[in-house]
């Protein structure tokens, strides 16, 4: 599987990483190299094998769906690049 420049551009956008147009060719080449390496997996017979979902056979822990934490908005906001009046601030979103 080889990735062309258009696919590289699309993947970068899906990943929300800005990649300059002139860097796309090199990125496509590197991603293609990695995918070629992954293609060894096609040699393995995986017929009837369930995908592994957890390392130890245990059920994920459950708890009652109740509030167990919170009440400190100033701590939540303390690391924000832009916080105003108790909220995270971002550029205007109009959809």
Binding site for another protein (CB under 8 A): 3, 7-8, 11-19, 27, 30-31, 33-35, 37-44, 46, 49-56, 58, 60-61, 63, 72, 75-76, 78-82, 88, 90-93
Closer by beta carbon to another protein, 22 or else 75: 75
Q: Shortest Cβ distance from residue 56 to another protein (Å)?
A: 6
User: Can you say whether residue 71 is alpha, beta or left, with left for phi > 0 and alpha for psi between -120 and 50 degrees?
Assistant: left
The residue behind tokens 């070629």 is: 36
DSSP 41: G
Tokens of residue 40, six digits: 């060894």
């Amino acid at each position: 599987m080889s990735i062309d420049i258009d696919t590289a551009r699309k993947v970068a956008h899906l990943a929300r990483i800005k990649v300059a147009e002139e860097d796309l060719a090199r990125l496509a080449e590197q991603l293609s190299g990695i995918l070629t390496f992954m293609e060894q997996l096609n040699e393995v017979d995986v017929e009837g094998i369930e995908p592994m979902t957890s390392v130890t056979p245990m059920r994920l822990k459950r708890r009652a769906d109740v509030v167990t934490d919170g009440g400190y908005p100033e701590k939540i906001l303390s690391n924000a690049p832009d916080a105003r009046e108790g909220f995270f601030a971002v550029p205007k979103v109009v959809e």
